[in-house]
Chain A
Amino acid sequence: MVGVMLLLSLLLFVWLRSLPGGPASAICGDRCNPAKLAQIKKTLGLDDPVIVQYLNFLKRAVTGDFGVSTGVQPGRSSMEIFVERLPATIELGVLAMIIAVAAGIPLGYLAARRRGGILDGLTLTSSLLGVAIPVFFTAFVLKYFFAVDWHLFPISGRQGDIEATRVTNFFVLDGLLTREWDAAWDALRHLILPAVTLATIPFSFVFRITRAAVLDVLDEDYVRTAEAKGLSSKVITRRHVLRNAMLPVVTIIGLQMGALLGGAILTETVFGFPGLGDALARAFTGRDYSMLQLLILMAAATYVVVNLLVDITYAYIDPRVRTR
């Protein structure tokens, strides 16, 4: 795992250095002259050979120092920006995943139970639209109607003009912890549109995988055994159908956590939501090496951790994995 991360960081480093432009010219700005550019490059250490730059980067990276941001919030430590924005994206991602799972699993189950019915057709179509329609389009439409036109939700940001005490930087959680209910509610209202937007991607996967898995499981002999025992439909559904159907669903939820970060870039940009997706978009346009390096490595680390969680959950549900 450490090896993978090291290799990734090296590739990332070399790739970023090979891009045209770069942080020096970005900082230098419009009225740039070669002397000034050279000066900036020197302070940033960009004149050294790439391998030296990389080793320096590694040395600092292991202590959590990824350098100074040059594009997102020039002058601030990248790590600081990361830590500040991480809770925003986690809040957004978790809520999106909760929406996707809370809607996808029951609907997937019902669609399978009434295969070919109206519900099945409707949800299948909408879940296909969920994949086919680009996220930013969904984002714009939701924002236009629900926020701009109907004023049901705030247009952008994480929190409105409201007194709020910061504890964890998870705004909803902060509101709950400090009993500032209005602040929690306000933060939640800011989250809803971006979260619904973001949820459309994992929803369509969770829905379709659940539907397919339930259809498979309903044909299994052990479901017939459960029916032959005269068990109640509730027990059959929960213990015999869903528990088995959840195995592939857990995997897809894990995989979709990765896709969520990709979706967050567009969603956060459209909703002016100051999270990591927004930071990543800005870091790209601003050629902010240190920020980009940090964000991409963290994304990779997240991926590894999520995979581990999937394996653990899998073993929890499936005894065959546990005792292998």
Chain B
Amino acid sequence: MKSIAFGQYYPSNSIMHRLDPRMKIIMGILYIVTCFLCKNVITFGILMISALLLIIISKIPVKIVIRSIRAIIFIMIFTAVLNIFWTKGEDYELLLSWRFINIYSSGLYNAAFIVIRIVSMIIGTGIFLTYTTTPIQLTDGLEQLLSPLKVLKVPVHEFAMMMTIALRFIPTIIEETEKIMAAQKARGADFSNGSLVKRAKALIPVLIPLFISSFRRAGELATAMTCRCYRGGKGRTRLNVLRFSFKDFVALFLVIAFGTGIVLLNIYAPGYTM
């Protein structure tokens, strides 16, 4: 239950887990940009190795990463197939020709590149963001990264607070749903059998108590926050102040160096270019 509740966060004590969330957001974005910069065989090869290294550094079990890749396997196969059949590379070797279907070697390269790019992007966002950073850390990081927008009267703090509260209560609401479902099952409710209409009707005894307690909880939370003098973000200090440390800058430097290396290799490395 809790594994769903806390998104994809996977607790561990790796260095990646201990980096500053703001820096991880920036690095995640840079890494995704780098995924799009890759152009030839060597750079895509390096990209693939970098994704594997990220998994190793963050001590996330490969099993878990594969699970999230599996979720989009169809999109991946679809784009790969499209690339194989639709790449017109007149300058390249024609591998197969049958009626109107022509498959060039460039098509195979492009398909492989696209797959590596998608997989690396998923691994990159996962490792930098969701697997190693709790949702609360993420919203905190986001709020502080976006705080310059406050000058333009964008209610950054309010959005972040809303997101934090929503995230905070997802596990609670899931737990509550499970409890109410169990309670109604104990009274003979059946959620898994019967026609669609019947199953939808069976949910009424779950939804009504759930709504009522959510409203009650929202009211209680508002009262509790008011009692503790919450009045928006103005002048509010934090319990856990985010501070960049040396390792954050080293990590950022490595990601930037990686991106620069890729750009240079795109220009100077030989081989097929997308």
**Pairing of A with B:** no
